[in-house]
Structures are given as structure tokens and as C-alpha cells.
Structure 1
Amino acid sequence: MGAQQHRQRQLPLRPAGPATVAALLAWYEAERRDLPWRYGPRKKADPYRVWLSEIMLQQTTVKAVIPYFQKFIARWPTVAALADAPLEAILQQWAGLGYYSRARNLKACAEAIVRDHGGAFPRKEAELLALPGIGPYTAAAITAIAFGEKATPVDGNIERVVSRLFAVEQPLPGAKCEIRNLAATLTPARRAGDFAQAMMDLGAEVCTPKRPSCLMCPVQQDCAANARGLAEVLPMRAQKAARPSRYGVAFLVQREDGAVLLRQRPEAGLLGGMLEVPSTPWNDEAPARREALRSAPVTTSWVAVPGSVVHVFTHFRLELTVYRALVPADASFTLWAEQERCRWVARRDLHGQALPTVMKKIIAHGFSTNG
């Protein structure tokens, strides 16, 4: 059946509204996902668990987050415990979740809740928004899910569900404001948290980005996109600009006793506060060998490891050549001017360090030729 014929289908029997909300809540009670940060329907959740899970879920899947969440809760079961934790320990536990600024804000937010709110999360969106690392979505999610207050969080799943329910054909990101307003028209005064989680689950399990299971959907008869044959193409998205590439050289230094040289990155900026393999700046063009060696952390003989390391960040693609060197354990040699940020770490202990994924890739590649 062609697209034109799809568009000529009969419109929904009823527009999305109170009946949609009732149907979704009933579906949620029967089909909700069992997640470690959730409590049952009609029950208020732990604000700490809601906040922690929502911060972790930004840019990351539920499946990937679950083991991280469980380890965090086991190690720091309360917001007060997290506030007391060393930042480096939090960064180590966070490694692999990306966006390390979120881990730093996690610590800062926990400290602010203990210091300014007596260890209890504030209930109102405006107060939550004043806390480090909490934006409009997270504030609304905590308000609705943890406290049952009327608030409308709109994540990617809810955005997709609403765009289909109301057949919003304007491409994203331009349609975000309209979608948020439409979502707010559905949010009930009671059970706002259950409704938000029902919408999230519907988007994750039924109203999926590709091949939505419309026949299994509890609100199919309310869905304008389904009636018009548009479910599989909504939400529409504006064409993205090409992701730029950056290049550099990483310097993997190993002592004869097995220790590896690492450097702590500045607190501000990408991967702030994390440990790294020292490298040149990441620029639009790969540096020549002579230029690259000006950034080397030690003066020694360097060997280029065949191949390269490629890592894709949200806004750019990074490609690094790796230079490797072996230096004596007891010899005297000079580190560069930033040696106060450098440390030697035994190779066997690298797994316990606050190393982001790209740095783990560099180390693995550097040792791939002869371990």
C-alpha cells in the first residue's frame, strides 16, 4: 500500500486525551519493566535512586546503565554517602558511561543536597533546577516519579510517543517545544510519575524507533500517526551536519617495572578530571612526527605502533596514532612541565583507574604488538 493510500486512512476514533492516560496507566500496571531504581505502580520511589538513574540514563541505554547503577548503590546507598565519596572514586566507578562532567556534577549535587537541604531532595522543579547537573528533564522526572507531583519529563521515548500520538510532522529538533506542550496536555494531576514511566516504557517496548508494534499498542486507536500511516516515519528529523574529525598522537610510556605513565586532565572541558595517556592536542590535521614529539612527556626513543585508534564522541570523530616507549625503572629522566599532573600506575592496576573508554582503547592498542 502506497504512502498516499496510508494518508487517506480514517482518522482516530478519539483524540489523545483522558482515555489515553487511563489506557496507558492500566497497561503500565500489567506490563511495566522491572528496573532496579523503580518501585511498583501507585508507590513513590526513592528520590536518590530516581536522580541517580536519570543522570546515568542520559545518552545511555537502560541495559548499559543497570550494572553501573547497582554498583553505585551498593557502594554509596544514600546521597550522603555519595557526597562523602572522593571524586576520583566516583570517576573510576563512572568510567564507561561517558560525559564525565556528569560524574563531577553528581558529586557536586550530592554535596549541595546534604549541605543546603539537610540530605533530602527538594520536591519542586524550580529548587531542583538550582542544583548542579539537573536540567529541566531531570527536574521534571524527579518531581513526577519520586514525589508524584504534576510535572512532564520528556525524554527520547516520550518525545517519539507524543510525536506519533499527535502526528507532529515538523522535524526535530524544531518540533521539541510543540511536543513538550502536547505532552503536558496529557499529564494527569494524579499519578504523574506512573504516567511518565508508562510513556517511557511504551516508547522503549512498543512505540520503538523502527518497526513500532502498533497492533500491540494500548493506545493505537488514539494515535493520529497510526491512522495516517505515518507511525514508522515519525518523528521526522532534520538532516544532521557531518561529524568533523580530529587527529593527534598519544604517548604510551612504560617503565621496565611495568608501570605506565598517566596524566590527569584539567577539571574543565571534555573528560575533565579523568586520567589519560598523554597526547598532543587534538586538531583538524594529524601532526608531523617532529611536531608531535614536542608534546612527548619524556625524551626517549619512540616507536610508532602500526594502525590507529578511532573513537567517536558526540560532536566529533577522533583518530590517534600511538607512539610507545620503554624506559628504565631506576633511570633519571625529565618529565615535561606538567609533571605534577602525571603519575605512574602499575599495569596490573590500570583497570581500577578513572580511565575513559578512549584511553583504554589507546592502552590496548599500544600493547597489542608485544605485551
Structure 2
Amino acid sequence: MTQAPAVADFSARLLDWFDTHGRHDLPWQHPRTPYRVWLSEIMLQQTQVAVVAPYFERFIAALPNLPALAAASQDQVLALWSGLGYYARARNLHAAAKVCVEIHGGELPRDAAALRALPGIGRSTAGAILAQAWGERAAILDGNVKRVLCRVHGIDGWPGMPAIEKKLWVIAESLLPDARLADYTQAQMDFGATLCTRADPACRQCPMQPDCIASRDGRTAELPSPKPGKPLPLRTAHMLVIEDAAGRVLLQRRPPTGVWACLWSLPEHADLAEARLWLERHVHDELERLQAGEPILHGFSHYRLQIRPHRLRGIRARDAIGDNEDLRWAPRSELANIGLPAPVRRLLKE
């Protein structure tokens, strides 16, 4: 009867596969410093390597080390992050850098508990940093690793359930090799991202296939078990695209909590009546000139957002705008350097 590969056999097969098929030229690997590893791991949370690479290079060019990140303004950090999504990652990254300067001498701590105490660093991210930056014997359990372990070991149940996750952590830690921890950590991520993929995994090329329970039982499409779900609700937001006579766009800073927290965006309202009241307080012009544009649909993890843009051009603002720190006129030439949500940036380009 087929069984999952033994501990030493699993890591040896995976490292052999990595030597030939793994990714060895990622920008954060050369040089592989703790700061660069940390930044890449935060960026790679729920985001693919191909998307992250150019953002990483732009970010590292502007803020090349941890003290530089700590000294940067939040607006600069969010502008560099703009387009990557999940902006809490950027805010946590910035906050963690400040903590490191304050209590760790401007360096990432080489300790699992101290790393996990920093904003935005959980157990798996701490393990990835320890293994890749310092070669520590630490396990990871990101989405790719969960998928591989569920298939190879034939584990039923959604991997996000505490009981299933606990079981996967035990397996992940038992499989750690004694050497080449940085390569092994990268190999796990590469293996799940490029071979044991969510859809259409390349099982015939897989070094684990002879002992993979999901392959044996024809269950690769079923494992890992999907999250029990329900249809995502649809919300509507009316966004005001307001331009003055010089073509500058009126931006409004988002609240410090919630979706797109602290980013600059467009004035947003739940309905048109609310939007008109806001306009009456802030602009002099006739409101009948509102022009509705094509709606944009944007997906979040817990709901879908339908953005309905309304354009006003050649607007004269009331003095209250100049006194409000959360409102600003921005020339279109400066928009690339401002932290904007991706759908808002797309809307302004259109």
C-alpha cells in the first residue's frame, strides 16, 4: 500500500528537484540579507512572484535597509506598495521597522518569538525568515506547502481549520532536513507554485508521485479540501472624480482602519444622495453636471465592490478643502508617486 515518503527521503527528493528546477535568480536572493528576505516574504503573502519582483526592486532601491524603512513616511511606504494590494502588509512592515530600530538596534531579531512579536509576522513568515536569512532549522506552512502536504499525505479537511493546520505543522517540522535550510524553504515554495499547482499539477514530473496518496487515489483535484464558503456579497461605492480647471484631481485620504487604510483615494459615498451633500459642502459648481462612468468591479477576500465613478471637471473648490489634511489636489503627473488603491489608479488612467 502506498505511503507518504519518509522524512529524509522527502527532503532529499525535494532538494534534488530544486537543484534542477527551482528558482535561483530571484532579486531577494542576491544578496540574501535578513532585510531583503523579510521584505520579500511580506510581499509574497497572497501575491505571486512575477507580480512581486518589480515591486521589490523599486522598494529596495528607495528604501535599501531597515533603518531607511523606519525613517520613511507612511505616505512614501504606501506609494511604493501601491498596486500590490493587502495594504495592511505595508503598514505592518513600516511599524515593525520602527520597533526594530527602537528595541533591536535597527536589525531584525534572530529569534522566533521576537520575530513573531513584530507586526505582520506570523509563525510561517518567521520560519521563512529564520531559515532563509540565517539557515535556522525552522518550518514554514504557507498555502503552497499546505497543498503539497495535504496531497502527499492524503489529508482531508480545509487546511485553515485549527485541527488540520496543527496536524500539518507537525508534518512540516518532521520533514525538515539537517542542512540547506534556505534552499529547502525556497524549494517548498517553488514546488507548490510551479509543479504541485492548485489546478492541473504536473504529477508525471513529480518526484513525490510514487508515494503521493492523492495521486494514488485520483484525488489531486479534491485536495486540499476547499474552504466551506458562501457567495460573496456585492457592495456599491460611488466615487467622485473631481478635476479643477488645471486638471488636478481631488484626492481624499482613507480612514486609518478598514479597507485601503491610510491610502489616498477618491471621495467615496454609499449613495448618490450622500455624494451630493458632500459636494454641496466642498464645491461651488452646479451638481447636475455629474457624469456617470462605466462601473468597475473589484474583488476582496470577503466581498465584491462595484465602483460607480462620477466625473466633474473644471470644478472650483470651497476654502474648506485647503484646511483639510485629508483632502488634496494632485496633478496627474504626480499620481504615480502617491499611494492609491489599484482600481482607483486604473480608473484615473482611464
TM-score normalised per structure 1: 0.86
- Which residue number in structure 2 is paired with residue 181 of structure 1? 170
Paired residue for 1:6? none
2: CA distance, partners of 1:292 / 1:70: 39
Letter in 2 for 1:313: F
Partner of 1:368: none
1:132-187, Cα deviation, whole Å (9 max, x unpaired): 22111211111111111121111111111111110112234333222222212212
Cα distance change of structure 1 residues 291 and 267 upon mapping to structure 2, 3 Å threshold = closer
Partner SS for 1:267: coil
Aligned pairs for 1:268-287 (under 5 A) are 268-281=257-270, 287=271
For 2:118, the aligned partner's letter is L
CA distance in 2 between partners of 1:176 and 1:200 (Å): 17
Aligned equivalent of 2:106, options 108, 111, 119 = 119
1:214, 1:22 → 2: CA distance? 18
Q: Which residue of 1 aligns with 2:318?
A: 333
Deviation at 1:196, TM superposition (A): 1.9
Change (3 A) 1:318 1:338: farther
Q: How does 1:116-265 map to 2 (within 5 A)?
A: 116-174=103-161, 175-265=164-254
Aligned twin of 2:273: 290
Change (3 A) 1:214 1:338: farther
For residue 29 of structure 1, what is the amino acid of its counterpart? D
The TM-score with structure 2 as length reference comes to: 0.91
Which residue of 2 is the match for residue 314 of structure 1? 301
1:17 pairs with 2:14: no
- Which amino acid in the other structure matches residue 26 of structure 1? D
Deviates more, 1:309-318 or 1:65-74: 309-318
Structure 2 distance, partners of 1:218, 1:15, is 10
What percentage of aligned pairs have identical amino acids?
38
Q: Does 1:347 align with 2:349?
A: no
User: Shift of the alpha carbon at 1:81?
Assistant: 1.8
Q: Contact 2:241–2:309 (CA<8 Å) still a contact in 1?
A: yes
SS of the equivalent of 1:118 reads coil
1:83 CA displacement: 1.6
Distance of 1:166 and 1:145 partners within structure 2: 25
Q: Secondary structure at the match of 1:294?
A: helix
What residue is the counterpart of 1:105 in the other structure? Answer: 92
Structure number with greater Rg is 1
Deviations 1:30-60 (A, max 9, x none): 3220211125xxxx93111110001001111
1:3 counterpart residue number: none
Aligned-pair CA distance for 1:86: 2.0
Does residue 94 in structure 1 map to residue 84 in structure 2? Answer: no
Q: Structure 2 CA distance, aligned partners of 1:56 and 1:241?
A: 28
User: What amino acid does structure 2 have at the position aligned with 1:111?
Assistant: K
| Aligned partner letter, 1:226 | S
CA deviation string 1:185-237 (max 9, x = no partner): 21224333322221111111211111211221122223222222222321111
Deviation string for 1:218-259 (max 9, x for gaps)?
222232222222223211113312111111211111111111
Query: For the aligned residues, what is the CA RMSD?
Result: 2.2
Pairing 1:38–2:21 present: no
CA–CA distance in 2 between the matches of 1:129 and 1:243? 31
Note the residue ranges of structure 2 that are not aligned, 5 or more in a row.
none
